[in-house]
Amino acid sequence: MNRTPPLFILILLQVTISAASLVVEIVAGRMLAPYVGMSLYTWTSVIAVVLAGFSFGHWIGGRLAEHPAPRALALTGWTMIAAALTTAAAALLLRGLSGPVLEAVPHPVWGIAILTLAVFFLPSTFAGVPAPVLAALAVTGPGGAGRALGAMFAAGALGAIAGTLLAGFLFISWLGSSLTLLAVTGIYALAALICFYLAGQRLHAPLLAVLIVSALAAATLAAPDPCTRESRYYCIRVIELGAEEGQRRLMVIDHLGHGISDRDAPLVNFTDHGAMLDALSRIRAPRPDFSAFFIGGGSYTIPRALALRGTGPRTVAEIDPEVTRIATEQFWFDPASALILHQDARRALLTRPETRYDVIIGDAFTDVAVPAHLVTREFFELVRDRLNPGGTYLMNVIDYQDRLHALASLTRTLNAVFPVVEVWTDTTPPAAGDRAVFVIAAGWQPTGHSRFATRAPDRTEFGALDPDWVARLAATGTLLTDDFAPIDRLIGRPD
């Protein structure tokens, strides 16, 4: 075919390829989550790598556009085959490279960036090639060149919008990451065949290439899924820990453990922060039947334990219904023992102004992925307003003991809201350079004593850090507000 393809076909190709490429960008963040978490750094790396790939692809496409139309279309078809191959291989490549890359690059930010580059740069590069080729063909066709060029730019933007919406609201929710990538693989392969047809090429070799792509896609589909269940929010895994299957389990959300529960020891916590939150909620509560609000459910280990201890009403704000479902099915949690709100914790507190609690427990602090809107002065003011007189806010903090920038900033911010702020941790000092686990207790009265021991799961002693030292640490911190809360940077690994 020597004549220029009709403009509507070029526009349709541009919309479809652009949409598919944006689907890959959204899915990339979800695919990386089980290995590096979902954080500001993850999305920054994904966006930068994808845009870099598009840019390089556009440059290559500009060179291809200088060829006669049939050859330009044929070469573009082969780049679409390459896009299909690299997209189909992305999941396998990510599983194979994640361990070596993250082990070789221990710095979390650089590890995320390099892993993203290794897996998603080539699919984005090949997906970026067609745009200038199709645009060059459009302006040489009948009609005004300016209008044709404008239509192609608009088609690219509309495709990007459609791909973003389809990925976020439809594909990932209903198909999951792997099947979504395979759908994109099929779209790229179909686009390749259309380009070959428009170029007047025989389809024997392209069809063989499509068969190879299909085999790779089947291998990807047959590979083990890193998620026990992939929800709209997280990759959730359930890992057996006990010697007896079904006795003790760990819930992993994205790449971090979010709670351990034991079938036969429901009152025992298996992490330091869980043991401190459980014990301090009872030590600092104004009465035995205290009411509690939980920011995040996870494995629901502490709500389960408090229900068995016979404390007062419990409310849990867990944004993901699938987390609650798995906790009920596999972590021995009785959903009737608590009021469960499947919404963001800040929204849950904001929209229930009439409800007050004796204890509010924040367990949303993990790695570099920390919800910034849950660590600001404005949020802590909301927490204060939802506490009963004499109530307590507890939150876990994980920070490098040689750095403590996040702990300092959170302590300073809480000091701006509460008259008493304590920092608790294991009385056994961590090794130099290790991360330490803390629990901050904020309220109106100090805890009655500075030491307690509980099982975590072995008997462990925890203590409150010296108030003068905590005050000096807080003075070095950053006041976190809704306008400025750089918690991702503050929690970063020491240089």
pLDDT at 292: 97
Return the pLDDT at 2.
54
Number of domains the chain contains? 2
List, for residues 13-37, the tens digit of each pLDDT value. Answer: 999 999 999 999 999 988 888 888 7
Candidate ranges 33-42, 92-101, 429-438, 465-474; pick with highest mean pLDDT: 465-474
Can you tell me the mean pLDDT for 118-129? 96
Final residue before a domain boundary, out of 179, 197, 226: 226
Mean per-residue pLDDT, 203-215: 77
Q: What is the pLDDT, as a whole number, of residue 115?
A: 94
Residues 167 and 313 in one domain: no
pLDDT value of position 34: 84
- Does 242 lie in the same domain as 203? no
Residue 446 in any domain: the answer is: yes
**pLDDT at res. 433:** 67
Does some domain include residue 321? yes
Q: In terms of domains, do 155 and 293 share one? A: no
* Same structural domain, 203 and 259: no
State which of 226, 258, 288 marks the end of a domain.
Answer: 226
What mean pLDDT, rounded, does the chain reach?
90
Residue 114 pLDDT > 60: yes
Structural domain that includes position 312 = 235-490
Mean pLDDT of 332-350: 95
pLDDT at residue 1 is higher than 60 = no
- What local confidence, expressed as pLDDT, does residue 82 receive? 93
pLDDT band at 283 (very low <50, low <70, confident <90, very high): very high
Q: Is the pLDDT of residue 365 over 70?
A: no
Residue 220: the pLDDT is 72
Residues 359 and 464 in one domain: yes
274 occurs within a structural domain: yes
Q: Tens of pLDDT along 380-391?
A: 999 999 999 999
Q: What is the pLDDT of residue 227?
A: 82
pLDDT at position 9 is: 93
Domain end point (choices 226, 243, 258): 226
Highest-confidence segment of 85-99, 119-133, 481-495: 119-133
Q: 445 with 470, same domain?
A: yes
Secondary structure (H, E, C), the chain: CCCCCCHHHHHHHHHHHHHHHHHHHHHHHHHHHHHHCCCHHHHHHHHHHHHHHHHHHHHHHHHHCCCCHHHHHHHHHHHHHHHHHHHHHHHHHHHHHHHHHHHHCCCHHHHHHHHHHHHHHHHHHHHHCHHHHHHHHHHCCCCCHHHHHHHHHHHHHHHHHHHHHHHHHHHHHHHHHHHHHHHHHHHHHHHHHHHHHHCCCCCHHHHHHHHHHHHHHHHHHHCCCCCCEECCCCEEEEEECCCCCCCEEEEEECCEEEEEEECCCCCCCCCHHHHHHHHHHHHHCCCCCCCEEEECCCCCHHHHHHHHHCCCCEEEECCCHHHHHHHHHHCCCCHHHCEEECCCHHHHHHCCCCCCEEEEEECCCCCCCCCHHHCCHHHHHHHHHCEEEEEEEEEEEEEECCCCHHHHHHHHHHHCCCCEEEEEEECCCCCCCCEEEEEEEEECCCCCCCEEEEECCCEEEEEECCHHHHHHHHHCCCCCCCCCCCHHHHCCCCC
Q: What is the pLDDT of residue 366?
A: 61
349 in any annotated domain: yes
Query: Are 219 and 270 in the same domain?
Result: no
Q: Confirm if 142 and 2 have CB atoms less than 8 A apart.
A: no
The proportion of the chain whose per-residue pLDDT surpasses 90, expressed as a percent, equals 65
More confident residue, 114 or 364: 114
- Mean pLDDT of the region 103-131: 92
> Based on the domain organization, do 354 and 441 belong to the same domain?
yes
Question: Mean pLDDT throughout 69-89?
Answer: 93
Q: What is the pLDDT of residue 75?
A: 95
The CATH number linked to 457 is 3.40.50.150
Q: Are residues 56 and 124 in the same domain?
A: yes
Report the candidate in 116, 156, 163, 167 with the shortest Cα–Cα distance to residue 134: 156
Say if residue 362 is in the same domain as residue 469.
Answer: yes
Q: Decide if 1 is inside a domain.
A: no
Pairing of strands 248-253, 235-240: antiparallel
**pLDDT at position 335, please?**
95
Does residue 250 sit in the same domain as residue 111? no
Asked whether residue 192 is assigned to any structural domain, the reply reads: yes
pTM: 0.84
Same domain, 214 and 289: no
